[in-house]
Every structure is written in C-alpha cells, then in structure tokens.
Amino acid sequence: MISALIFYPSVCRAENEYVAEELLNTPQENEVILDLDNNSSGDESFYSSNSSDDVSDGVEEEFTIFEQLGKTQSQTLKEESLYTKILKTNITRTDVPSFLLKEELTHSFNKGPIKELQLFGGYRGSISGIFNPHNYTTKYDNLTTEVGFLGKLKNPYYDFKLSFLPVVKEGVNYFDAFWGDAYLAYNKIPHHRIQIGRSRGQVGIEGGSSSYTLPFVSRSQIGRNFGNLRTTALKVIGNYEYVDYSFAFGSSGRYLTSGFPGAEFTGWLNIKPFGSKDGKLGKLTLGGGLNSGHNQFNYNVGTVYVGYKHKQLWTNFEAAIADGYNGAAALSTAKAGGFAYTLGWKLKPYLQIIGRVDRFDPDRKVSNNVKTEYSAGINWFIKGQAIKLVLNYIFCQNQGMKDSQKIILFTQIVL
C-alpha cells in the first residue's frame, strides 16, 4: 500500500490530471478536512491573512500533534474504501505534521491506564543527481523511516510519544540510532507542556523542526550542523498568543548509551507582535535561542530568527554563531557560524515555489573555507505534509575547492 501511495502522484498527474485538480480545488461530499485554525477550506481560507501557516514558531508543533489525537474528523463518513477516503481528505495546513490515516490507526481502550493510542508511520526518500567536476553520480537516500505511537492516558493531563527509526545509516551503532522520541508530557498548567524524556532539541528553528515540515529536502547548513538532534531532558514549553518559549535542562549526550557526559541547557524564545487573531498584518515571528553545555569541552551556540507570512508570501532569516557545538553532524570545538535566508510563494494551497541562500563558515579561524548553497524548489502538497512531492536544485559554491550542483526528487508520506 505504501508503494502505491508513493508512486500514485505521478500516475495520477499524467493520466487523470483533471481529477487531481478537481479534488484539490473542490470541496467533496463528506470530505475530511483537517484545518486547525478555522473551519473553511479551499483557496478562500488560504488567501486570507489570518491563516497560521508556514511560519513555524518552534513550539506550536509540540501542541498541535496532540490536539489532533482523539478528535474525530467527521462523524458522518459513509462506508467507503480506504482509497476513496484518502482522495477526499483535504489537509490545508503545511506548517505542522499531518497524519493521513489518523482515524484508521487510532484505538480507544475501555480498560487500563491508556485512553487512546495512535499508530503512525513516516517515510522520506530521495533520488539525487549530483554534478561534481568531471563526474556525475546518482544516489538514492532513505532519509527517514519512522514508526511510533502517540497516546493519551486516562488521566487527561498526560500524553506520551514513542517512536523508532528502524533503518539507520552504515557505520552508526544500531541500538543508538534506532530510538526516536520517547517522552511523557504533563499538560495541566494552561498554555504549557512539561515533557520528560527524549525529544528534539530546539537548537534554531530549522535545526529543531520536525523532518516532515522542512521547506527543502535538507536542512540549512546551520540547521544540520548545530541542530537536528535529540536529547534526554526535562523540557518546559509555553505557547501564548504573543509569545512562546521552550527551555530544556538535561544531558549533553545524544544517545541512550551516552550516559551523562555533561549537563546542557537549550532555550528558545519567540515574540509574535502580530499575534492577534485578525491577522491583517500577517504573522511575524522574532526568535532567539541558546544551546550551551559540556561534553568533553564547553560549547555554546547562539541563534536569531525572523519569520514572516502574509497571504501567499512566506519568508524567514536565521543566523547562528558557535563557539564549539554538539549537533547531529559532529561534536566540534570549531568556532563556526552561518545564516540562511528563505523566500517562498504559494501559488495554490497545494503548490509552493521557494528559494534559499545558505552560507556556512565551518571555522572562522580558517580563511577561504566558506560554503554557500543556492537552492530553488517546488513543493507539491498532495495531501498537506502527509503526501508531498518536492523537486530541489542546489548549486554549491565552495571556497578552496570545486563547485558542484545537485538535483533532488523527494517523496514524503506520513500515515
């Protein structure tokens, strides 16, 4: 079934293009609509200014996935085939992960401590054509294969998440890389979540975002070097109309077998000056954070962020500077830094064009080593982030070495 869903878009587009257009633009009878901000659907809600879409504020995702859990999308669904239900599902938001088969994979319990349990799975894969000087290669990447559970306990103030990454890269300890998120959250305090366990660290906006909501196939250079990590910590998350924040205290070890090599603090604060629900001025997010800890040596990473969305326009700027860092790419003493500027335009709720300038200096003490990536892309949200096709072109300008180019065709499905 997964293979059929992955290859369905290209077949449908070629042979039944008018059907795809009709499904994407026209509300269907008894369609399932996942729109967490308003009850409208189609282009009208998309072109309004108050749509909370595409400008991530860093912590909203933590709240949203559990808000979806346990909510019935429609009480009036007819007995239909799974394929028909998928076709009629209209997912409008693309700034948070969405689950294509939430209804079918959620089970309620009458006995025991668990109230509801949702099984989910995600796949991200890409085929890359890499143009190096005097050489051309084609490479397939299994970027993410994930399965897991979202759950709520009978006590209404508790929920949890447990996920696994069964396909790991060569040369990595399988037991370490196998574990994804594993945490318990307490939600009694209004506008807050208190999490304990293993989850993503908010080191920058893109570095701390879910893999399923990235605007490009790969994170920015600062995102993949300083962030893209999971850590075991006690995390306090707050979400208000004009401000949200995330503060985590825990271990600087990145794996379950790392033990406690040192303490770490990861903090992030967003100010949303246009947070009012009228949305006339669009959505502006001003953010900043610090990741500081000890793992063999002291490291500190500071990040600033500006994001803005108004109607079809979406843009952001993120910059970071490090005096040593402990990201997914490496544990390093280097004094590194960089920035990324992204600009996007949604031609339709399901079709977006984007561009990015991404600059990274791996060591500010060394000259002539800056790497700059110029990227352009097209995102086709067939069913929001649940089924997505992406085409990226990247030109890599490297000081001190030959430039290179890359074309990536990417597929994502979240069940």
pLDDT digit string (tens) for 65-78?
Answer: 777 666 554 444 45
Record the pTM: 0.82
Confidence band for 120, pLDDT divided at 50, 70 and 90: very high
Question: Which of 3-17, 235-249, 348-362 has the weakest average pLDDT?
Answer: 3-17
pLDDT of residue 276: 65
**Cα angle 38, 44, 48; round to 5:** 70
Contact 106, 72 (CB under 8 A): no
For the record, the structure tokens of 169 come out as 């890269």
pLDDT at 34: 34
Of how many residues is the chain composed?
415
For residues 86 and 288, which has the higher predicted lDDT (pLDDT)? 288
Residues 6+ apart with CB under 8 A from 171: none
Domain count across the chain: 1
Tokens at 215, concatenated:
């605007």
pLDDT tens-digit map of 206-224: 999 999 999 999 999 999 9
Q: How far apart are CA 356 and CA 368, in angstroms?
A: 22
Residue 140 has pLDDT above 90, yes or no: yes
Largest Cα span, the chain: 65
Worst-scoring range by mean pLDDT, 126-140, 182-196, 291-305? Answer: 126-140
Q: Tell me which of 39 and 106 has the higher pLDDT.
A: 106
Indicate which CATH number applies to the domain containing 349. Answer: 2.40.160.10
Question: Using 50, 70 and 90 to split pLDDT, how confident is the model at 51?
Answer: very low
Is 211 strand, coil or helix?
helix
Residue 315 pLDDT more than 80?
yes
Would you state the pLDDT for residue 171?
77
Alpha carbons 230 and 90: distance in angstroms, whole number: 32
Q: How confident is the model at residue 262 (pLDDT cuts 50, 70, 90)?
A: very high
End-to-end CA distance of the chain: 11
How much is the pLDDT for 86? 81
Long-range contact pairs involving 337-342 (C-beta distance under 8 Å, separation at least 24): 337/222, 337/361, 337/364, 338/220, 338/221, 338/222, 338/225, 339/222, 340/206, 340/220, 340/221, 340/222, 340/223, 341/315, 341/316, 341/317, 342/215, 342/220, 342/315, 342/316, 342/317
Domain boundaries, position 116: 2-414
342 has a pLDDT exceeding 90:
yes
Report the C-alpha gap between 395 and 405 in whole angstroms: 5
